[in-house]
Structure 1
Amino acid sequence: MNARSIMLILWPSFLLAGVGSAVVFAFIDPLDVAIFGHIRPSREWLYAMGFFAFWGMTALSSLLTVLMLPDKSAQTDSDIDF
């Protein structure tokens, strides 16, 4: 995997993580969240963890898409390119 493939995975997932966390935290106040009923995380910590969770999920989705792309060396002339 080259640098171009890594950027094709990380850049769109970064943008979608920003949009996803903006949408989620528009409806959820981080100060109302309690982890295991006792721990109240700070607002910044919850924003950061939410962003990185969204980034990880969308990066995994992009990675799976890149891995499912057909290998160009395995294609023959009779293959149809989409």
Structure 2
Amino acid sequence: MKHIIWVLWPAFIAAGIAEIVFFTAIDPQQLYLLGQPVELPAMATYSIGFLMFWLICAGSSLMTWFMLPHEVKSALERYAGGRDDLARPKRTR
């Protein structure tokens, strides 16, 4: 499960940034797909755009994971070890 998070979380952040930059410069009502204007509501265009950016960024993160040397992957596995959450230590009650 950690491997999936290690790939999808950076892709999610990068897709958010890419969408902000893209839709700051381009109005969704002015987009064309295969020569035809996109006639979706703006919110649907933003949502589809985000999912497409996320898919592209996830592919990039996945390629990076596949290209990592085995030693680096092993070190990540050892560091992550038995910890379920690397962001903060578990609470004790």
Q: Structure 2 length normalisation: TM-score?
A: 0.68
> Which structure 1 residue ranges, 4+ long, deviate > 6 Å from structure 2?
none
Do the aligned residues in 2 keep the contact of 1:34 with 1:40 (CA within 8 Å)? no
Decide whether the 8 Å contact of 1:13 with 1:62 is kept in 2.
Answer: yes
Counterpart Cα distance in 1 of 2:67 and 2:32: 39
Deviations 1:31-71 (A, max 9, x none): 22244425511101110111011100110011011111222
Question: Residue 4 of structure 1 aligns to which amino acid in structure 2?
Answer: K
Q: Share of identical aligned residues, percent?
A: 35
Q: Root-mean-square deviation (CA), in Å?
A: 1.8
Q: Could you say which structure has the greater relative contact order, defined with CA pairs below 8 angstroms and 6 or more residues apart?
A: 1
- The runs of 5 or more residues in structure 1 that have no matched partner are 76-82
Which consecutive residues of structure 2, in runs of 5 or more, have no partner in the other structure?
75-93
- Corresponding position of 2:64: 65
Give 1:44's aligned amino acid: M
Instruction: Report how many aligned residue pairs link the two structures.
Output: 71
Q: Distance in 1 between matches of 2:8 and 2:37?
A: 35
Is the strand fraction higher in 1 or 2?
2
Query: TM-score, normalised on structure 1?
Result: 0.76
3-state DSSP of counterpart to 2:18? helix
Mapping of residues 40-55 of structure 1, within 5 Å: 40-55=39-54
